[in-house]
Structure 1
């Protein structure tokens, strides 16, 4: 068996972290439409572990009519037995390549549905689903229902899962010492791409309403870094809101936190939120996408956020900090969102036919 997962660009993100985890199995191959193996590995050294089973096709912006044929040729060369595409671009190019290569077992995964609100994207995805007839998968019930409403096709759910052996609780003081973080502060952490959709500007604005003994740490990189940095300085929060950059050791970060915050404007079923809970850290999150599907009901809080009312997020964070729930979110993740079940579900697609 050789299962191929096709993604747009193998750069740090929720989809890519999931695919990277799946690719730890020796029979999983990854196709990245964009980039070269060299540029991808330079930008994200962690993918070096799967470099021998990674192909990058260097797609440039715009339509590439030859790409499906290149993908199909490579699929035949490695004797792929099944294909899984993730998101719209891989659906269009990978779906065509899968059918050109004569591969029957093909699944497509929707990780969020907000992009389907754009009518052109909706028509593109709906047409590709009708033409290529993949087995349709969504990462949460909310995403599945939203995708069904927008495309007219039903989706089964394979939720994102967490490796609970890799993500586990550690003594908070030890975790902070390793990271060089203060032990006399209450820490709220965020992790993700520094892009507008992730809502970290909301966290920065909310920080000015938090007490001085609360520190906010935002890990990640992206196009919003300089804008966020400037705003932090404008608000005089440089000592209380820090951005250490990207990390490939997220399992070392979560145990250092008192609380994890996900302030996103749009999401599917975010891995960072699941990972934090696997480490025993409660979560306050924006009520978007499939967040409620992945939030421990005993320890987590989902709320509607507004850019104009940052104090509401600050109030929710402070109330959660001062009255931290007695429960532990880790058993919820172990019981409902374990990576072993996610991996087995994707393996089972091998015997599913379009």
Structure 2
């Protein structure tokens, strides 16, 4: 636990605080880090100058660059700053911030910790630019002092495909602020949604596969509407698909919403149609709102959260206490699962089970695991290098 020692400096790094799951988790983590203020001066570096969607505690020193989404300017600016601040440790979220963190701390006394939020192999796909990104990760990620993965699937992907040694990985899921979700969930819905509805959240991008969800909803015959919260480049394509299915007025795309919890609290169930996730924040936060869920068995996270099983061990449509897990990109199976989980006789029980599962991700113990890992790695980095033969990936913040 925090004690009365000389304060060190910890620098957190992320691309920006524009709307997104990783950005929200970064501010959640910082907000819960107050008990460590007597041990650390805490700074937050934003690589890009963008309008922030999430507030930062006023005791966190915020430094904003203007890298314009480019890697090299961010690396150079960050290296200059770290030379001035001389922090004991850095912790970064998101790929570009992670690579910048590794490059800026290379050859210094600063302990470099990165957090991988996505299943990188599934996230990047197979295009030429994606292949270049994968190569950059394979060259850089093994040079971090430690990697925090948000799920076992993400951790295994780092070991198999990006040459990260297993003894340099800890698995810590994203924190869930139940008290804040309850407070925000009690507020009025903006925008208001009338009647019964299925909810989904996420950026409107191909990997989230909302096109499949719209098709499944059309096949399901469920009453009411489908509300997809989020914005992104797929909007026009999705709007055209909604028109083709004749679902105007029944499928709504309200865009980015400041308070999604007020809407989630009033939904019938939650749908996660993704082809790839790291740790599905939207799924867990919807479960914390007491919603039963239908989720694809994507890489990574849903099967671990809902079934406590590896993705590879799950085949077909699998009902569970909190809802159902279905194969990826299968609208027929997803429609069947929507009908199953929509059943009013079981909906309340499934919602209660979903909420109970999320308690293991509560903000206080999860934030504690982050800081325990930070302090262990800072201490370990002052000793001889890690053994080349790790004893395995560490869980619950434990370092092998």
Q: TM-score under structure 2 normalisation? A: 0.76
Cα distance, 1:29–1:253 mapped onto 2, change above 3 Å: farther
| 1:151 paired residue number | 162
Cα distance in structure 2, aligned partners of 1:275 and 1:61: 28
| 2:310 paired residue number | none
Aligned partner of 1:293 among 304, 307, 320: 304
Cα distance in structure 2, aligned partners of 1:126 and 1:55: 29
Aligned partner of 1:215 among 200, 225, 231: 225
The CA deviation string for residues 224-257 of structure 1, in whole angstroms up to 9 with x for no partner, is 1122122212221112111122112122121111
The CA deviation string for residues 302-326 of structure 1, in whole angstroms up to 9 with x for no partner, is 11132xx423211210111025352
How far the C-alpha of 1:211 sits from its partner, in A, is: 2.7
Aligned partner of 1:4 among 3, 8, 11: 11
Higher alpha-carbon deviation: 316-325 or 200-209? 316-325
CA contact (8 A) 2:265 2:290 kept: yes
Q: Does 1:161 align with 2:175?
A: yes
Cα distance in structure 1, aligned partners of 2:183 and 2:30: 25
Cα distance, 1:83–1:63 mapped onto 2, change above 3 Å: closer
| 1:339 paired residue number | 363
Question: How many residues are paired up?
Answer: 338
Unpaired runs of 5+ residues, structure 2, are 1-7, 35-40, 308-319, 382-400
CA contact (8 A) 2:202 2:231 kept: yes
| 1:106 paired residue number | 112
Secondary structure in structure 2 of the residue aligned to 1:181: coil
CA contact (8 A) 1:209 1:314 kept: yes
Cα distance in structure 2, aligned partners of 1:239 and 1:265: 26
Secondary structure in structure 1 of the residue aligned to 2:106: helix
Cα distance in structure 2, aligned partners of 1:58 and 1:338: 34
| 1:54 paired residue number | 62
RMSD across aligned positions (CA): 2.7
| 2:134 paired residue number | 122
CA contact (8 A) 2:71 2:96 kept: no
The CA deviation string for residues 12-63 of structure 1, in whole angstroms up to 9 with x for no partner, is 1121111121222465432222x31xx323xx3x346669633232224555
Unpaired runs of 5+ residues, structure 1, are none
Cα distance in structure 1, aligned partners of 2:263 and 2:88: 38
Cα distance in structure 2, aligned partners of 1:170 and 1:136: 32
Secondary structure in structure 1 of the residue aligned to 2:231: coil
Secondary structure in structure 2 of the residue aligned to 1:40: coil
| 2:51 paired residue number | 40
CA contact (8 A) 1:168 1:280 kept: no
The CA deviation string for residues 72-106 of structure 1, in whole angstroms up to 9 with x for no partner, is 22234445331112233222221121235531x32
